[in-house]
């Protein structure tokens, strides 16, 4: 292969760090020239970004790969990422950024100015645009980038690890063989990547190889380091059923602990697959691929295949990648499923299906300076030429000055006409922008309320509890209820903030929802199911996207947000209970004046 370019890639795993050098050839060919891994000690779930250990690991790898003072493409681990895949109505290209910005605000549970985020258009389905949004908190990103830079490397591309895996899959496998599930078993996080044609959906959860080691440590009474070493040396997944036990009782017991821990991972896979099918309209996977160091334990493939009941294979990101003479072929064939992110990062030097830019602000600023160098040099040359011309001009005869002045004035008059025309167009642009902003807000609010009511509905497990009234409440606890719902019940809760001025304004800020529900349960004299329903609502991860409860314990929760008066349970209609739901995102509603 005639090499056109060499690229260095770095996968910043939470426990295992990998680095590789690739050669880029003509017509999209890729050559793995060399690679290396190193392990970080300690429990990866208890030490933030592990900046010092990560920096030491990168320093260990750069020597064998002769990577000092090099540019590098590196990947952010899944545990620091927030990935959201949404469907938007068909929009003009100039409106996509605005609408995606609103969606990002809904997806990210902290201010966007504290994050670095990017999005990718994934195509159209059923007349809607599919968009993938990925974000990372700036403080985590800055820690990771500092670990890279402290090793003398400079970031060229900063990508998300699951996205790099997806690009590696698309490079090596056909996208038209039905829905495929790529399972990346990392130390701290398991990433699930659903790939269906040109579509992708990423879902991550905080359970991985470290969770298995923690289970071994707990069950066998040892520290984490000892459990990790024992797992690597003797661990395997117990096949269960009629298979014989291992001759060593301790190893046999450990294999059963590993199987139980893997069962929890399987449960999350099943739950998130159902969410992909229900919420994204995806198909059931017809095949699964295993990636990541956590998949290296013996019999992981067999047990997951048994539980998922679909074919399971090890992911091979080197199917279409050549291997150089310095690479140990036998070793790389055993470790290929751990190289996916490194391959995907190298592919960023070509055209990729997903190309996110998650570079920290410091890297983006350096890029801007580099991009402006040619412009600054041209500007300096132009300035020098102008000064030289000015000197020549002042050395000319006085009669020439008057002629030049008249010519300049004519140009000024012409440009003034252009300036007036530009100002008129700018005024029109401002009008169109105001309309677009309004439409964008309407679309975002529509999706917000629909998702909120869907969340409330999902928590109603049976027909014993009915929601009969949902009323928006203003800052004073009464005004919006009275105006929008004349005759509604008085707001029965204490309100934290004081009423705002202008109670008769055309718009009111809605801070809470007043919800009245009926408990029809005849089996319990205390109505405990109503209290349990409210607690599950307040503590639901899904509901936290919409409601902002503040409480220390269950007792404070129910006193502050629930009025629960058990009535005559002999009544066929049951009894009512009232809830205050404080909104995480306060919105404005029009108020009808009397």
pLDDT digit string, tens, across residues 74-130: 999 998 998 888 888 877 767 788 888 888 888 888 888 899 999 988 877 777 888
Cβ 203 vs Cβ 166: under 8 Å: no
Residue 200: CB atoms within 10 Å: 26
Lowest mean pLDDT of 7-21, 317-331, 543-557, name the range.
543-557
Indicate whether 135 pLDDT > 80: yes
Residue of 153, 585, 571, 157 whose CA lies nearest to 360 = 157
Phi, psi torsion values for 40, nearest 5 degrees:
-100, 140
List the structure tokens of 77.
């681990």
For the chain, give the mean pLDDT: 83
Q: Which of 94-108, 396-410, 538-552 has the lowest mean pLDDT?
A: 396-410
Task: Tell me the pLDDT tens digit for each residue of 255-292.
Answer: 999 999 999 999 999 999 999 999 888 899 999 999 99
Q: Residue 273: which of 150, 354, 184, 180 has the closest Cα?
A: 180
Distance CA 25, CA 31 (A): 8
Question: Which structure tokens are listed for 562?
Answer: 């629930």
Instruction: Report the C-alpha gap between 136 and 592 in whole angstroms.
Output: 42
The CA distance from 480 to 486, in Å, is: 10
Structure tokens at 542: 């899904």
Do 192 and 292 touch, CB atoms closer than 8 A?
no
pTM confidence score: 0.63
pLDDT of the residue at 486 = 53
* Helix-then-strand count for the chain, H and E: 15, 18
Query: And the tokens for 453?
Result: 């009511």
Q: Which comes out higher in pLDDT, residue 108 or 444?
A: 108
For residues 381 and 385, give the distance between their C-alpha atoms in angstroms, rounded to a whole number. 6
Task: Provide mean pLDDT across the span 7-12.
Answer: 94
DSSP-derived 3-state class of residue 179: coil
CA distance 433 to 88: 19
Give the C-alpha separation, 33 to 66, whole Å: 12
25 in Cβ contact with 2 (< 8 Å): yes
In the structure, what pLDDT confidence band is assigned to residue 481 with cuts at 50, 70 and 90? low
Tokens of 529: 């199911």
Q: Are 193 and 170 in contact (CB under 8 A)?
A: no
Relative to beta strand 465-473, strand 115-125 is: unpaired
Q: What is the DSSP letter of 40?
A: P
Rounded Cα distance between 29 and 39, Å, is 30
- What does the pLDDT read at residue 343? 97
- Residue 364 is predicted with a pLDDT of 82
Confidence band for 370, pLDDT divided at 50, 70 and 90: low
* Three-state secondary structure call for residue 378: helix
pLDDT digits (tens, 9 = 90+) for 139-160: 999 999 999 999 899 999 999 9
3-state secondary structure of 343: helix
Q: Identify the CATH homologous superfamily for domain 3-359.
A: ATPase, nucleotide binding domain (3.30.420.40)
What does the pLDDT read at residue 498? 43
- CA pair distance 265, 185, nearest whole angstrom: 9
Question: How many CB atoms are closer than 10 A to CB 42?
Answer: 14
pLDDT at 477 over 90: no
Helical (H) or strand (E) element with 584: strand 575-590
Output the six-digit token pair for 280. Answer: 């994204």
**pLDDT greater than 50 at residue 565:** yes
Which residues are paired to 588 by β-bridges?
509
**Angle at CA of residue 287, ends 275 and 244, nearest 5°:** 105
Report the pLDDT value the prediction gives residue 102, as an integer from 0 to 100. Answer: 86
Maximum average pLDDT range among 83-92, 244-253, 571-580: 244-253
- Residue 405: how many other CB atoms lie within 10 Å: 10
**Percent share of the chain, pLDDT over 90:** 39
Of 366 and 583, the one with more pLDDT:
583
């Amino acid at each position: 292969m005639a090499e056109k370019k060499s690229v260095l890639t770095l996968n910043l795993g939470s426990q295992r760090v990998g680095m590789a050098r690739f050669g880029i050839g003509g017509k999209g060919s890729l050559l793995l020239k060399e690679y290396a891994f190193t392990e970080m000690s300690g429990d990866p779930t208890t030490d933030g970004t592990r900046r010092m250990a990560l920096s030491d690991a990168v320093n260990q790898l750069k020597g064998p790969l002769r990577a000092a003072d090099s540019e590098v493409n590196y990947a952010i681990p899944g545990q620091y990422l927030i990935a959201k895949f949404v469907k938007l109505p068909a929009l003009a290209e100039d409106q996509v950024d605005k609408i995606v910005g609103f969606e990002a605000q809904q997806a990210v549970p902290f201010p966007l100015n504290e994050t670095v985020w990017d999005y990718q258009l994934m195509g159209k389905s059923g007349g809607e645009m599919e968009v993938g949004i990925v974000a990372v908190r700036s403080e985590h990103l800055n820690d990771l980038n500092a670990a890279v830079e402290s090793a003398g490397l400079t970031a060229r591309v900063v990508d998300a690890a699951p996205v790099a895996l997806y690009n590696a899959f698309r490079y090596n496998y056909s996208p038209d063989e039905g829905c495929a599930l790529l399972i990346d078993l990392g130390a701290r996080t398991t990433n699930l990547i659903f790939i269906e044609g040109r579509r992708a959906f990423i879902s991550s959860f905080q359970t991985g190889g470290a969770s298995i080691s923690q289970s071994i440590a707990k069950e066998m009474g040892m520290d984490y380091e000892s459990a990790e070493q024992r797992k690597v040396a003797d661990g395997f997944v117990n096949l269960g059923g009629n298979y014989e036990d291992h001759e060593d009782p301790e190893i046999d017991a450990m294999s059963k602990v590993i199987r139980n821990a893997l069962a929890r991972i399987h449960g999350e896979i099943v739950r998130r697959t159902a969410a992909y099918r229900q919420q994204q309209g995806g198909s059931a996977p017809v095949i699964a691929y295993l990636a990541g160091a956590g998949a290296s334990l013996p019999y992981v493939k067999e047990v997951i295949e048994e539980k998922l009941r679909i074919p399971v294979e090890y992911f091979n990101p080197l199917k279409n990648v050549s291997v150089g003479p310095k690479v140990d072929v036998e070793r790389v064939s055993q470790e290929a499923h751990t190289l996916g992110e490194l391959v995907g990062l190298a592919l960023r030097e070509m055209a990729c299906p997903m190309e996110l830019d998650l570079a920290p602000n410091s890297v983006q600023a350096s890029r801007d300076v580099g991009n402006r160098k040619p412009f600054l040099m041209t500007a300096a040359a132009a300035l020098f030429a102008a000064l030289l011309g000015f000197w020549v001009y002042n050395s000319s005869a006085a009669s020439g000055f008057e002629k030049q002045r008249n010519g300049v004035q004519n140009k000024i008059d012409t440009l003034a006409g252009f300036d007036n025309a530009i100002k008129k167009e700018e005024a029109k642009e401002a009008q169109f922008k105001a309309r677009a902003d309004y439409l964008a807000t309407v679309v975002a609010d529509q999706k917000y309320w629909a998702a909120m009511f869907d969340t409330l509905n999902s928590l109603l497990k049976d027909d014993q509890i009915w929601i009969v009234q949902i009323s928006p409440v203003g800052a004073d606890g009464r005004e919006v209820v009275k105006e929008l719902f004349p005759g509604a019940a008085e707001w029965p809760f204490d309100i934290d903030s004081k009423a705002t001025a202008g109670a008769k304004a055309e718009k009111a800020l809605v801070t809470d929802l007043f919800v009245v529900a009926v408990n029809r349960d005849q089996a319990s004299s205390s109505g405990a199911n109503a209290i349990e329903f409210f607690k599950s609502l307040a503590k639901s991860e899904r509901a936290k996207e919409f409601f902002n409860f503040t409480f220390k314990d269950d007792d404070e929760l129910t006193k502050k947000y629930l009025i629960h008066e058990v009535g005559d349970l002999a009544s066929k209609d049951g009894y009512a209970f009232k809830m205050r739901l404080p909104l995480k995102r306060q919105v404005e509603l029009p108020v009808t004046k009397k």
